[in-house]
Amino acid sequence: MRFGTTIAGVGEPTFILLHGLGSTRRIWDLLVPLLKTEHKVIAFDLRGHGESEKPEFGYALEDLAADIDELMRRYGVTHPVLVGHSAGGNLALHHAITRRNARGVVLVDGGLVELHAHLSWEEALVRLAPPPDDAYQIEKFVREGWSEVPNTVQLAEIRRSLFEWDKGTDARKRLTRDRHLEILRSLWEQDVHADLASLTCPALIVACRPRDGTGSQWTVQKELAATRVGRLPHVRVSWLQDTMHDAPVQRPRELADAILVFSESLVAQQRTKLSPARA
């Protein structure tokens, strides 16, 4: 399998960055420079996304988790910190509980709300289906969703990565509708609260509260879920205020700081375990 991959930095633990459904590794472009100063960072396009191969079948969470295994083998990573945004958080959680080799997991506005507890599959198909297969409409949708972020050249490149371009102007989504829905079904079926409870490594949940989202149904669902899972001894919940869902492009510095502090706590815990007991 060929994967579009970005690798930067040195140092342990290694961060493996997982983007969300329909996105690409470029969503992490503003964060990688902030993380690579002390850590090795690997960001890659999930199968069917970005510059990675697009097999006809195999888009369940377990298939995507197997791709993480392959990347870890290729680059000699044994105990990563998995950082997932949106559906990438669900994937990070699934990989952590089924492999149990992660040093820790960071779930960025993902892996928190159980979709099947709030939406029937038919409702999920309506509310969470991909945008129309029209590049102009998709780019307009993303641009409006990122309206609070300065429209820099780098941001335009991140948006452009969502499409395949023909002759420089004609574009189409990189992830097809059928594959999008196959991944969505796997996300809808996931029991995220049971998965969080069964984690054997520390977890940091970075939830986003938009400026205009106070009291919205989705924000309330996140708040209720955060209260529930925040009682778990190995889970810590942090909120980014006045922040849209795509925090990696709006709050890269704040998000990087949270990840680095979490990583430092993991290293400190490891040192404590390895240090000889005092008499």
In the chain, what is the greatest distance between 2 CA atoms, to the nearest angstrom?
Answer: 72
Indicate whether this model's pTM tops 0.85: yes
Exposed, middle or buried by CB within 10 Å (0-12, 13-18, 19+), for 167? exposed
Are residues 35 and 29 in contact, defined by beta-carbon separation less than 8 angstroms?
A: no
Short-list 76, 74, 104, 109, CA closest to 90: 109
pLDDT of residue 69: 99
Chain centre to alpha carbon of residue 66: 16
Report if residue 99 sits inside a domain: yes
Q: What is the pLDDT along the chain (279 residues), one digit of tens a residue?
A: 999 999 999 999 999 999 999 999 999 999 999 999 999 999 999 999 999 999 999 999 999 999 999 999 999 999 999 999 999 999 999 999 999 999 999 999 999 999 999 999 999 999 998 876 666 666 666 666 676 777 788 888 888 787 776 555 555 667 888 999 999 999 999 999 999 999 999 999 999 998 876 558 888 999 999 999 999 999 999 999 999 999 999 999 999 999 999 999 999 988 887 776 544
Instruction: Tell me the average pLDDT of the chain.
Output: 90
Residue with tokens 């899972």: 229
* CATH number of domain containing 269: 3.40.50.1820
Report if residue 44 sits inside a domain: yes
The residue segments making up the domain with residue 215 are: 5-274
Model confidence pLDDT, tens digit, residues 171-225? 566 788 899 999 999 999 999 999 999 999 999 999 999 887 655 888 899 999 9
Report if residue 267 sits inside a domain: yes
Could you give the number of structural domains in the chain? 1
Are residues 96 and 30 in contact, defined by beta-carbon separation less than 8 angstroms?
A: no
Model confidence pLDDT, tens digit, residues 214-230? 558 888 999 999 999 99
Euclidean distance between CA atoms 141 and 195, whole angstroms: 32
Report if residue 279 sits inside a domain: no
